[in-house]
Amino acid sequence: MERNIKVYEALKWASSFLTENGRDANAGELLLGHFLDMDRTRLLSNLRMALPPDAGVKFRQAVEAHAKGVPVQHITGYEYFYGRKFLVNRDVLIPRPETEELVQGAIGRIRRHFGETKGLTLADIGTGSGIIATTIKLELPKLFVYASDISEKALAVAEKNAEALHADIRFVHGDLLQPFMGSKKLDIVLSNPPYIPETDRSSLSVVVRDHDPETALFGGEDGLAFYRRLVETLPYVLNKRALVGFEIGSGQGERVSCLLRDTFPESVVEVVRDLNGHERMVFCEKN
């Protein structure tokens, strides 16, 4: 990239280069905004500004790295979720917009199903970067919130995020619901477990397959292994009146809802589609 290049010229180059390499052309805006410490509005109002040489070098390196498959979030070190900034790295799944819909759906159902939230206990299973637990705690501060993960490295990231955002959460290390067996009963269980079938591995984008942790992606041959294990142990940890919410993969709604109905025949089970029309959440209201 030449010296004395303007912001708009840098963005034009990045857009063309990324498109040629099969990446999102708009990633250039995110990366340049990061290196200039500008949000998108400010960046676009300074298109004719000369790009500082050091920022230009970092920007070019970042664009080239993303073209090779490195996620933007691993370059910047963060992603926004529910309007808040969360640290991310290779130890955790990069937050997806669809998970915001799980959180939003859970908040509405918690209020409707329980009314008063004081005294209720929620557990986010497989918390990763802690986006679900932290967001729920900040939106419904009267809840007592646990966050668990089998990965100690993921828990370290989640704890940093909760601390930075001043969310009071109890973190526990363990496999799925195992840490809660025989202890205090839970009123709400939320989880975004690994749900990609092994058979889909080869079709995944290199950005996902080679950079998100494998343990956060794949859910066995059919993608349902973790739902089976979760539902099998739910009866041992849930209170009589409870709410369960899972994020799911497209096309998994009927099978996951059947697991819940078979385990809790008197419950109300609902499959919810995301904004793109894909099956994305299953909620179970247990009375």
Amino acid at 261: R
A 10 A CB-CB count for 179 gives 18
SS3 226: helix
Dihedral sign (CA 142, 102, 72, 203): positive
Q: Are 218 and 189 in contact (CB under 8 A)?
A: no
Q: Are 256 and 238 in contact (CB under 8 A)?
A: no
Report the C-alpha gap between 32 and 40 in whole angstroms: 9
* 179 known member of a binding site: no
SS3 125: strand
* 192 known member of a binding site: yes
* 128 known member of a binding site: yes
Amino acid at 40: R
* 193 known member of a binding site: yes
* 194 known member of a binding site: yes
Report the C-alpha gap between 277 and 282 in whole angstroms: 14
* 141 known member of a binding site: no
For residue 112, give the nearest of 275, 280, 270 by alpha carbon: 270
* 253 known member of a binding site: no
* 239 known member of a binding site: no
Q: What is the CA radius of gyration of the chain?
A: 21
Q: Are 113 and 285 in contact (CB under 8 A)?
A: yes
Binding site for substrate: which residues?
192-195
> Which residues belong to the annotated binding site?
126-130, 149, 192-195
Detail the residues annotated as belonging to a binding site for S-adenosyl-L-methionine. 126-130, 149, 192
